[in-house]
Amino acid sequence: MPELQMSDIAAKLKKIDFCMMSTKGSAEEISNRPMSNNGDVEYDGDSWFFSYDGTRKIADIERDPGVTLAFTEPPSLLGKPGIFISIEGEASLVREKSEFERHWMKDLNRWFPDGIDTPGLILVKVHAERVHYWDGEDNGTIAV
């Protein structure tokens, strides 16, 4: 099977809602938390996540923007393991309301009841630098 391209990875990520985002804490410890990408994945390797400003993950990103995202797809109905994707990248914090509008999905109202006007709302953009994947017997690395 030929190696996957970024467009293949993006198509897979659109179908995987949750990942684990790893950041580095103030004492260099690794912190993990579940995050939803809401299918908002671009072909250039950008992933977008809404959060509240002032949280530990935002403080971690401000201190060290290097993050890892870990995605896994469930097994198929026939038992074939799903794909595993690890994305190493750099996070940036976006506070512009126009970007909130561009990436907002109605389902986010569950966590952010005032929509893009929710006090303390922040958008985390993770730009992939390297993508590792394991899909059955196939695996590879894509440098972005």
In a domain, 125, yes or no: yes
In a domain, 1, yes or no: no
Q: How much of the chain is helix, strand and coil, in % rounded to 5?
A: 20, 40, 35
Q: What is the CATH number of the domain that holds 103?
A: 2.30.110.10
Q: What is the pTM of this model?
A: 0.89
| Overall domain count for the chain | 1
Per DSSP, the residues of 84-111 read EEEEEEEEEEE--HHHHHHH--GGGGGT
In a domain, 133, yes or no: yes
In a domain, 11, yes or no: yes
Instruction: Say yes or no to pLDDT of 75 above 80.
Output: no
Instruction: Say yes or no to pLDDT of 79 above 80.
Output: no
Boundaries of domain holding 49: 6-143
Of all residues in the chain, what percent carry a pLDDT higher than 90? Answer: 62
In a domain, 71, yes or no: yes
Q: What is the pLDDT of residues 55-74, one digit of tens each?
A: 999 999 999 999 999 999 88
User: What pLDDT score does 143 carry?
Assistant: 87
Q: What is the pLDDT of residues 10-33, one digit of tens each?
A: 888 888 989 999 999 888 899 999
In 10 A of CB 1, how many CB atoms? 8
In a domain, 37, yes or no: yes
In a domain, 82, yes or no: yes
- Give the separation between CA 78 and CA 74, rounded to whole angstroms: 11
Instruction: Report which of residues 119 and 82 the model is more confident about.
Output: 119
